[in-house]
Amino acid sequence: MNATEWKEKLSAIRDSFSVSINNVQTENPEAIELRFLGRKGELALLLRDLKDIPIEERKALGALGNTAKEEMMVRLGALKGVPASAGPAAKPNLDLTLPGWPFPKGTLHPLTVTLNRMTECFAKLGFSVAEGPLIEEDYFNFEALNFPPFHPARDMQDTFYVDVKDASGKDMLLRTHTSPVQIRTMKNQEPPIRIISPGRVFRSEAVDASHSFAFHQIEGLYVDKNVSMADLKWTLEEFMKDLFGSSAKVRFMPSYFPFVEPGAEVEVSCVFCRGKADGPRCPVCKGTGWIELLGAGVVHPNVLKACNYDPAKWSGFAFGAGIERFAMLLFGISDMRMLYENDLRILKQVQ
Ligand code: FA5
Which atom of ligand 1 lies closest to the CA of 220?
9
Whole-number average pLDDT of the chain: 88
The pLDDT score that the predictor gives to residue 239 is 92
The pLDDT score that the predictor gives to residue 21 is 83
Q: What is the Å distance from ligand 1's center to 222 Cα? A: 18
The pLDDT score that the predictor gives to residue 155 is 77
- Of 160, 325, 326, the residue with max ligand 1 atoms within 8 A of its CB, to mutate for a pocket test, comes to 325
Co-location of 31 and 152 in the same domain: no
Counting residues of the chain whose pLDDT is more than 70, the rounded percentage is 92
Co-location of 58 and 159 in the same domain: no
Co-location of 139 and 238 in the same domain: yes
Please compute the mean of the pLDDT values over residues 49-55 and round it to a whole number: 88
Quick check: is 309 in a domain?
yes
- Of 257, 270, 335, the residue with max ligand 1 atoms within 8 A of its CB, to mutate for a pocket test, comes to 257
CB 315 within 8 A of CB 307: no
98 CB burial (10 A radius; 0-12, 13-18, 19+):
exposed
Co-location of 146 and 79 in the same domain: no
CB 167 within 8 A of CB 235: no
305 alpha carbon, distance to own chain's centre: 38
Distance in angstroms (rounded) separating the CA atoms of residues 188 and 199: 19
Q: What is the Å distance from ligand 1's center to 322 Cα? A: 6
Quick check: is 97 in a domain?
no
Domain holding 13, by residue range, is 3-86
Q: Which of 10-24, 127-141, 321-335 has the lowest mean pLDDT?
A: 10-24
Q: What is the Å distance from ligand 1's center to 179 Cα? A: 10
pLDDT band at 329 (very low <50, low <70, confident <90, very high): confident
Ligand 1 neighbours (beta carbon < 6 A)? 157, 177, 179, 203, 205, 211-212, 215, 217, 257, 260, 263, 292-297, 318-322, 324-325
| pLDDT tens profile 277-315 | 566 777 777 788 888 889 999 999 999 999 999 999 999
Quick check: is 270 in a domain?
yes
Rounded to the nearest 10 degrees, what angle do helices 55-80 and 3-22 cross at?
A: 0
Which atom of ligand 1 lies closest to the CA of 205?
30
Domain end position, chosen among 86, 118, 151: 86
* Bond from prior residue into 280 cis (ω within 30 degrees of 0): no
Q: What is the Å distance from ligand 1's center to 191 Cα? A: 25
Co-location of 175 and 305 in the same domain: yes
- Of 159, 197, 203, 217, the residue with max ligand 1 atoms within 8 A of its CB, to mutate for a pocket test, comes to 217
- Indicate which residue's Cα is closest to atom 27 of ligand 1: 211
Cα end-to-end distance, the chain, whole Å: 61
Asked if the model's pLDDT at residue 226 lies above 90, the reply is yes
8 CB burial (10 A radius; 0-12, 13-18, 19+):
exposed
Which atom of ligand 1 lies closest to the CA of 179?
4
- Indicate which residue's Cα is closest to atom 19 of ligand 1: 322
pLDDT higher at 212 or 287: 212
| pLDDT tens profile 125-169 | 999 999 999 999 999 999 999 998 888 778 777 899 999 999 999
The pLDDT score that the predictor gives to residue 275 is 64
Q: What is the Å distance from ligand 1's center to 118 Cα? A: 16
The pLDDT score that the predictor gives to residue 89 is 47
pLDDT band at 241 (very low <50, low <70, confident <90, very high): confident
CATH of the domain at 340: 3.30.930.10
Task: Convert 270-282 to b/e letters by CB count within 10 Å (16 or more is b).
Answer: bbbbeeeeeeeeb
The pLDDT score that the predictor gives to residue 92 is 52
Asked if the model's pLDDT at residue 183 lies above 90, the reply is yes
| pLDDT tens profile 67-104 | 999 988 888 877 776 555 555 544 556 678 888 777 77
pLDDT higher at 31 or 194: 194
Co-location of 172 and 320 in the same domain: yes
Q: What is the Å distance from ligand 1's center to 145 Cα? A: 15
CB 204 within 8 A of CB 176: no
Please compute the mean of the pLDDT values over residues 9-32 and round it to a whole number: 83
Number of domains in the chain: 2
Co-location of 146 and 81 in the same domain: no
pLDDT higher at 81 or 350: 350
The pLDDT score that the predictor gives to residue 351 is 67
Co-location of 214 and 262 in the same domain: yes
Task: Select from 260, 301, 284 the least CA-distant residue to 337.
Answer: 284
Which atom of ligand 1 lies closest to the CA of 326?
23
Domain end position, chosen among 19, 54, 86: 86
Helices (H), the chain: 3-22, 29-37, 42-48, 55-80, 110-124, 138-141, 180-188, 229-244, 301-306, 323-331, 344-347
- Indicate which residue's Cα is closest to atom 2 of ligand 1: 177
Q: Sheet containing 171-174: which strands, arranged edge to edge?
A: 135-136, 171-174, 161-165
Co-location of 76 and 186 in the same domain: no
- Indicate which residue's Cα is closest to atom 30 of ligand 1: 211
CB 329 within 8 A of CB 244: yes
Distance in angstroms (rounded) separating the CA atoms of residues 119 and 124: 9
Q: What is the Å distance from ligand 1's center to 264 Cα? A: 11
